[in-house]
Structure 1
Amino acid sequence: MKSNLKKTFLILLFTFFCLNITAQSNHVLWYNQPAEFFEESLVLGNGKMGATVFGGANSDKIYLNDATLWSGEPVNANMNPDAYKNIPEIREALKNENYKLADELNKKIEGKNSESYSPLGTLEINNSEKGKAVNYHRELDISNAVSKVSYEMNGVKFTREYFVSAPDQIMVIKLTSDHKGGLNFDINLKSLLKSNVEVRNNTLIMTGSAPIHENAGYTVLPKYLDIKERGTKFTTLIQIKKTDGKITNSRETLILKDATEAIIYVSVATSFNGFNKNPVTEGLDDITIALQNLNKAFAKPFDQLKESHIADYQKFYNRLTLDLGKTTAPDLPTDERLLRYADGKEDKNLEILYFNFGRYLLISSSRTLGVPANLQGIWNPHLNAPWSSNYTMNINLEENYWLAENTNLSEMHLPLLSFIKNLSVTGKVTAKTFYGVNEGWASAHNSDIWAMTNPVGQFGKEDPSWACWPLSGAWLSTHIWEHYVFSQDKNYLKSEGYPIMKGAAQFFFGWMILDKNGNLITSPSTSPENKYIAPDGFIGATMYGGTADLAMIRECFEKTIKASKVLNTDADFRAKLETALAKFHPYKIGKKGNLQEWYFDWNDEDPKHRHQSQLFGLFPGDHITPEKTPDLAEASKKTLEIKGDETTGWSKGWRINLWARLWDGNRAYKMFRELLKYVDPDGKKTETPRRGGGTYPNLFDAHPPFQIDGNFGGAAAVAEMLIQSDENEIRLLPALPDAWETGSVKGICARGGFEIEMNWENKILKRVSVFSKNGGKTTLINGDKKQNIVLKKGEKHEINW
């Protein structure tokens, strides 16, 4: 009997041991080979400096970026001072239903294109001794924002450790050999921009400048770069700290010989000093800043640098933890794991890893005031990046920040909020000169670090379907309210937020006109990047009273009204907005049961178009809900069904959130799985390539090409499936899919300044803990159950549901 018990115990112990060593990690990406393509690399960042690590054995390549290195200089907002004079003519053409003429005339309301986010340079570490690496392992641990590489070559074990520190504004790379004197390598730097590289006092120095002007397909032209007083300057400094061995150099290379351990310090800086300052004549001293950061970090021991980096990072990352129950997925490298998941296999920890990775990317790319995460976060290797790696404000920039507040990263929202403040400055000129509105501010489809607000299109050369769209101020202003309603920071709302919201509302109050039925509409109007088919067969973009316009302005007005009430200010203006809202052209449900995108029930040129802007009121807005507006919610559902589930990465991220808001957890989960569909790196040649929207081997979102918004939108959608809230109520597990029948979450946030911890079993909520940051009341809702709670500041309330 004892023998059998002992045998059973040993089997159970062995099973437990096996399960634990093979359980997939929810915070480590790892691979058995170096990265060959950008979409296989591992990225690090401190919210300003970005590093893309390939982890090669014989030669390691690291792309370097700085969030503030862009082409261009402060924008001349008054670039097209008479553009607004064309508005009456466009409106007249629309009134006469001459859409072709309206489309042509709308091109006269265009300005310059945005500037481009620039690559800083490439750092290469080349081993002197070449050989075949065995037992290779490469990883990124997103619980501490540290990447590691280890391998053996010619009987020697080598390790590398990489991180980019926010407290010390430095990148640190530690290299070790388990044989004395085993490290022999050289370091070089190069840039796609105009630059100079030299070694002085055992410091590798690269200085250069970004182009002062960007055009589609531009190359770096010397005539731009040789103008002394223009263009953002940059500096990169590299030093090696060794335990033994010898440092030598050539003119452009640092060389280390016969060392056992070495630490490489990489410091970068630019002269950017704000959106409205010439980066040369009024710029920061990039050389001095880079040198100061280098010297301070060099004086500190490696362990101290690493500890302060991890402590700083984890104070954000550790605020939220998610568990989705038991997983039976085997332990595989991340690329193989994605392939297995694409075959329909279960891997709950991969789903958590993707969610955690989204939070990691936001912490790593959004910590510089006035410089939010761009289309690629901060990780761009291209001189001519896709879409200039700019701020695309008809969805993409906003989607980057959907997870900021509800996943407990409110501080990461501040770069966007301060950027909106910059837009409100240049946008005052844009409102007057492009649209003839003398109050408030406007911003359009694209922007850049210089807070450009004009409609793009190269002064009439581009299609109005994307170039002519003055609505981003409405959308962006709702982020200000989101920050307030989650944080309850009334001082911010009063001193900065509300004046910006009011300015956005003032513009639209002046921009809207009455239609023939006496309802308020926009004219001209477009629906982002989509086109209609008119009854005469004309395919166009310029119209009036587009649903997306009215949905966004409705949200803008409603949130501005709420803000004025919170601050007890501007009662007269508030009354004007309330009166205007009552006169808005109403939503229309089309003959297919869909929510109309256009003023008339016209067909789309592309019925499955990636944009779903007419559904803005459902998400990210909140004036369409299954409970408050069931007919509009049903029409939104029909619209999504017509569009289908197959779409690009960021669009899929948006659609998952929309299905979550319709409380359809299984449909949202189906699309979430599709978002994690394995996609081959763009440059990889295979017999059966896997392309389309999805996820690259390094978990980057495939639009394709890489766009980070899908990562952020997908992570936000996980939170949206677990919790939804407004100023008065919190819905717990509103769109919980069957696949996540058991789990727990801690640190997820709700509007009203609440932080939630909860666990559930068999899809039944078991326990909820609610913490109030500032005191307040709310109603908790789960299924048919409701519970009202009132909490004091700092108070926590626990409920066994």
Structure 2
Amino acid sequence: MKPLLRNSLTSLVCLLASSAWLQVYAQSAIHPISAYTQAKKHAIVYDKPAPNFFEGALLGNGGMGVVVTTRPDAVVLYFGHNNVWDIRIAEDFKDEIGTFAEVFEKVQQIPDTLEKLTDDPWYREYNKLTTANYAKPYPRPFPCGRVVLGFDRREATLLGHKLDIATGVCDVSLLTKDGKHLTLRVFTEMEHDRLWMRLLDAEGRDASNVFDRIRVIPDPSTPKEFPTYAVTEALTAGTLAFRQVLPRQEPADYNPSTGDPGERAFSLIAKTNVPLEKKPRINWDGNQEEMHELEAALGDGDELLICVALAEGLDSQLPARVEKLDVPSVEAASFRLAAEQATASWQQYWDKSGMRLADEFLECIWYRNLYFFNCAAKDGVTPPGLFANWSYNNIGTAWHGDYHMNYNTQQPFWMTFSSNHLEKNLPYVQLVENLMDVSRKWARDYYNLPGAYFPHSAYPVTMTMNPYPVPDWGWEICETPWTVQGLWWHYLYSGDVDFLKNRAYEPIKAAVEFLVAYIKRPEARGGDRWDDDRYHIFPTIPPELYSLRPGFAFNYDVNIDLALTKFIFNAFSQMVQVLGTQAEDGTIVESIRDILTNFPDYPMAKSPALGPIFVSVPGEHDKVVYNVPLPLTTVFPGEQHGLHTSPDTLQWLENTFRNQQNEGGNDLVFLNLQAARIGLLDLEQFKQQVNYSLLPNGTATDMVMQVHGRYSDQTNFDFMAGMGIWFENFGLPAVINECLMQSYTGTIELFPNWPMDKDAQFTTLRAVGAFLVSASLEGGQVRWVNVISEKGATLKIKSPWGKKGFIETAGKKWPITTELIELETTSAEEIILTLE
């Protein structure tokens, strides 16, 4: 079922007068977009009950996530939180796993005549050994339970719901038996883990209560070995709550009576403004039935207010008594204050950037995914895993709901830079910092090398070893530079030298130290294997392809390894210049220069129909069906190739794009962003793929696109849709941003992949160099461009009119005389480009 793409009929005035950039615009006669007002046009409307988890409205504050579902007889809310995990972890077989050198030597002895390594008895058993820890069901996100608000269907009918993404308010519509329209208004606070509900009439006034019961239900997936949750039923105070302890130790070692200092806990508390009571009912077989535990009848009243709070933390620090938790009084004044603060927070969020597009579908996708991202992630909270903060039972727990460092984890954060939401990249920075200890330890103990080797899979729990050390995945070298790439981007787009020094320097340096040492191993240069004197990245694994092969076929010089290694080497060399650390880092820079001087070429093949193409690894043919779009990773994320490269290279990139086959699942953002970077994205085909992937809740899931790769005619093409809310696809705004503006080379280029006959305007997209860029395309012509320099860097921008138009800044105006405009700027300076 497809979601209904309806426009909201209501709009509010966006109170943005306090934003700095708006004050600048007020002086320039160039009018910015009110993203808050535009977002209101893209409400998600469902005109019938939505009982399925994937039909419900998504709410959240970056920590707590809530899914608001509706049944013909109830509103059901599912709670989750990025901080709430089953934190148990298996770290068995540390000694048996051995070291890289030991495993490498054994694999070298396996005959290259075998079809796959697991045909060898030793490797087959070693493979089982190294996957055993990951086979445990924990760690995983832990669902925090449900709240059911039920009503008598003879008294009311549920009509549907509407989610206003501008404010994060979900309105559930009901019709009473006497024809009155009621609204249950639902929203989450943005600074506290609390959800509010209020019943309103058609005029927005408090309505008499039609709900007859409330129930709190712990998640059914709670392991039996966990301590039984503690129940609070303070009926006269209108409170139902439970408290669940989350053990740190595995079942064999856990003693519920003594616990463990590291174990965590959470409480889910529902509190109403009316007293509760237990009322028996007659069940289907005619016998009297008592209400369930944590279920009670709601009293009548002229108004209904409910607050649901989620508290979490260390078990030793989380109060056991509900009355000691931070739950406000449930009254109209508290509701109003919470609503005002939440709206102000959303207005501030939308203040950052905005756009107005003639293509309504693309505009809708941009705003909705920015909304979802704000619900799912924020600084100071555990970074979201695969399925962010929405979970129930086994939904949201596939692959442990963990961090996969070969695209899944990085992808959603790609949009934070150009969308001018750098604050939303900070959870990713925190993740990298959290991984430093285990990554340094793995580099030292397993590889016997300096620096840090970042693992393929990771969890937000204390780890002392690589969680998934199987060579088929654990030897992907690209994941180490890929993990730290976003820290360098954060500096490039922000110009924040303090961030570079205090948060980016150490992780990037540690990754580079490992890569230099790994590439300079004797096995990776010369000898019988290499008929040259170049350095090689060996062994390694192409992401999602081939695994480790007998004889190491397809296990060296992978396209993405080369591209990302070159990227992070160049980044480190620039970082040393910016921070002035030549004295301590000069030796590493010299090694980088030596390696890059003797670096392998990117692997290529020939397509009979198209000519030269890039492929993922040397020796590969032109008919591979990829899972991750590897052949164009020199374009993105490698940023080695693009519209700035030579005509020959551009032709090879186009050949590669036309030839490439992708099976789906991992390419909705990735491949289309690559295409935009080289000006080849067909927006209509992109929209079709997005639409194919949409769920009723407005999010895009991972959908299979074709067979002949890992999937067959027996594959359910939507098999990943039920796994959870795919956080990675919230990166979709990045694709649209790259169509409207590119700046990764240091030169700003406007509308590089946008049809000139479609009007478009964007406000304060962020460019490399800490520039905030706004522009308007109307009637086939760029009308104006506005740039605000945050840090006073040198501005380089391609004139959208060639050697025409005018530049205005600091009260001066002069004609454009070059196609590439280059200006020295000062901090907070505004530059305006106009045709007239």
Question: Please, what TM-score do these two structures have when normalized by structure 2?
Answer: 0.78
Deviation at 1:365, TM superposition (A): 1.0
Q: Kindly indicate whether residue 351 of structure 2 is the aligned counterpart of residue 318 of structure 1.
A: yes
Letter in 1 for 2:628: H
Q: Kindly indicate whether residue 193 of structure 2 is the aligned counterpart of residue 160 of structure 1.
A: no
Deviation at 1:655, TM superposition (A): 1.0
Q: Kindly indicate whether residue 362 of structure 2 is the aligned counterpart of residue 351 of structure 1.
A: yes
| Counterpart in the other structure of 1:54 | 69
| Counterpart in the other structure of 2:828 | 794
The 8 Å contact of residues 374 and 389 in structure 1, kept in 2 or not, is answered as yes
| Counterpart in the other structure of 2:143 | 119
2:686 is matched with which residue: 661, 666, 671?
A: 671
Tell me, in whole angstroms, the C-alpha distance in 1 between the residues paired with 2:132 and 2:464: 10
2:668 is matched with which residue: 649, 652, 660?
A: 652
| Cα RMSD (Å) | 3.7
| Counterpart in the other structure of 1:238 | 270
Q: Kindly indicate whether residue 298 of structure 2 is the aligned counterpart of residue 256 of structure 1.
A: yes
Deviation at 1:56, TM superposition (A): 3.4
Within-5 A mapping of 1:527-606: 527-531=542-546, 543-569=555-581, 570-592=585-607, 593-602=612-621
Tell me, in whole angstroms, the C-alpha distance in 1 between the residues paired with 2:630 and 2:255: 39
Tell me, in whole angstroms, the C-alpha distance in 1 between the residues paired with 2:656 and 2:754: 22
Greater shift after overlay, 229-238 or 308-317?
229-238
The 8 Å contact of residues 46 and 363 in structure 1, kept in 2 or not, is answered as yes
2:81 is matched with which residue: 66, 75, 100?
A: 66
Tell me, in whole angstroms, the C-alpha distance in 2 between the residues paired with 1:64 and 1:547: 42
Deviation at 1:619, TM superposition (A): 0.9
Deviation at 1:137, TM superposition (A): 4.0
Structure-2 change in CA distance of 1:567 and 1:544 (3 Å): same
The 8 Å contact of residues 405 and 456 in structure 2, kept in 1 or not, is answered as yes
Letter in 2 for 1:380: S
Kindly provide the CA deviation profile for residues 37-90 of structure 1, in whole angstroms up to 9, marking residues without a partner as x: 222111011110100001335211111001111122478699357333424415
Letter in 1 for 2:642: T
Kindly provide the CA deviation profile for residues 587-628 of structure 1, in whole angstroms up to 9, marking residues without a partner as x: 122122221211323567xx2222123432211221112322
1:228 is matched with which residue: 240, 246, 259?
A: 259
Secondary structure of 1:625's match? coil
Secondary structure of 1:590's match? strand
Tell me, in whole angstroms, the C-alpha distance in 2 between the residues paired with 1:797 and 1:317: 23
| Counterpart in the other structure of 1:426 | 438
| Counterpart in the other structure of 1:777 | 794
Tell me, in whole angstroms, the C-alpha distance in 1 between the residues paired with 2:201 and 2:252: 44
Tell me, in whole angstroms, the C-alpha distance in 1 between the residues paired with 2:151 and 2:187: 20
Tell me, in whole angstroms, the C-alpha distance in 2 between the residues paired with 1:91 and 1:520: 21
| Counterpart in the other structure of 1:27 | 42
Deviation at 1:434, TM superposition (A): 2.6
Structure-2 change in CA distance of 1:18 and 1:147 (3 Å): closer
Q: Kindly indicate whether residue 768 of structure 2 is the aligned counterpart of residue 756 of structure 1.
A: no
Tell me, in whole angstroms, the C-alpha distance in 1 between the residues paired with 2:429 and 2:207: 52
Tell me, in whole angstroms, the C-alpha distance in 2 between the residues paired with 1:352 and 1:553: 35
Tell me, in whole angstroms, the C-alpha distance in 1 between the residues paired with 2:390 and 2:481: 28
Tell me, in whole angstroms, the C-alpha distance in 1 between the residues paired with 2:200 and 2:332: 20
Question: Number of residues paired by the alignment?
Answer: 719
| Counterpart in the other structure of 2:739 | 721
Structure-2 change in CA distance of 1:168 and 1:93 (3 Å): same
Secondary structure of 2:328's match? helix
Within-5 A mapping of 1:38-437: 38-73=53-88, 79-80=94-95, 82-89=98-105, 92-93=108-109, 100-101=116-117, 105=123, 107=127, 112-113=133-134, 115-128=139-152, 130-131=154-155, 133=157, 136-155=159-178, 156-176=180-200, 181-190=208-217, 191-192=219-220, 193=222, 195-200=229-234, 201-210=237-246, 212=248, 228-229=259-260, 231-242=263-274, 246-249=275-278, 252-271=294-313, 279-280=314-315, 284-285=317-318, 287=320, 291-295=324-328, 301-325=334-358, 348-369=359-380, 371-383=382-394, 385-437=397-449
| Counterpart in the other structure of 2:715 | none
Deviation at 1:209, TM superposition (A): 3.1
Secondary structure of 1:591's match? strand
Structure-2 change in CA distance of 1:206 and 1:494 (3 Å): same
Tell me, in whole angstroms, the C-alpha distance in 1 between the residues paired with 2:640 and 2:324: 52
Letter in 2 for 1:27: H
Tell me, in whole angstroms, the C-alpha distance in 2 between the residues paired with 1:454 and 1:672: 42
Tell me, in whole angstroms, the C-alpha distance in 1 between the residues paired with 2:41 and 2:829: 31
Structure with greater helix percent: 1
The 8 Å contact of residues 103 and 540 in structure 1, kept in 2 or not, is answered as no
Greater shift after overlay, 710-719 or 45-54?
710-719
Unaligned runs of 5+ in 1: 1-16, 215-219, 272-278, 326-347, 683-689, 695-699
Structure-2 change in CA distance of 1:368 and 1:67 (3 Å): farther
Greater shift after overlay, 614-623 or 70-79?
70-79
Structure-2 change in CA distance of 1:95 and 1:779 (3 Å): farther
Greater shift after overlay, 251-260 or 105-114?
105-114
Letter in 1 for 2:259: K
Question: Please, what TM-score do these two structures have when normalized by structure 1?
Answer: 0.81
| Counterpart in the other structure of 2:806 | none
Deviation at 1:499, TM superposition (A): 1.0
Secondary structure of 1:161's match? strand
Q: Kindly indicate whether residue 480 of structure 2 is the aligned counterpart of residue 473 of structure 1.
A: yes
Tell me, in whole angstroms, the C-alpha distance in 1 between the residues paired with 2:190 and 2:648: 49
The 8 Å contact of residues 526 and 544 in structure 1, kept in 2 or not, is answered as yes
The 8 Å contact of residues 73 and 212 in structure 1, kept in 2 or not, is answered as yes
Deviation at 1:718, TM superposition (A): 0.5
Structure-2 change in CA distance of 1:399 and 1:252 (3 Å): same
Letter in 1 for 2:685: K
Structure-2 change in CA distance of 1:31 and 1:716 (3 Å): same
Deviation at 1:367, TM superposition (A): 1.0
Letter in 2 for 1:392: H
Secondary structure of 1:422's match? helix
Tell me, in whole angstroms, the C-alpha distance in 1 between the residues paired with 2:541 and 2:264: 35
Kindly provide the CA deviation profile for residues 479-516 of structure 1, in whole angstroms up to 9, marking residues without a partner as x: 00111111111111101211110001111111224332
Unaligned runs of 5+ in 2: 1-7, 13-37, 279-290, 707-717, 803-818
Tell me, in whole angstroms, the C-alpha distance in 1 between the residues paired with 2:464 and 2:687: 34
Kindly provide the CA deviation profile for residues 677-723 of structure 1, in whole angstroms up to 9, marking residues without a partner as x: 265779xxxxxxx97569xxxxx997675452453232210111111
Secondary structure of 1:449's match? coil
Letter in 2 for 1:628: T
Deviation at 1:128, TM superposition (A): 4.2
Identity rate, percent? 19
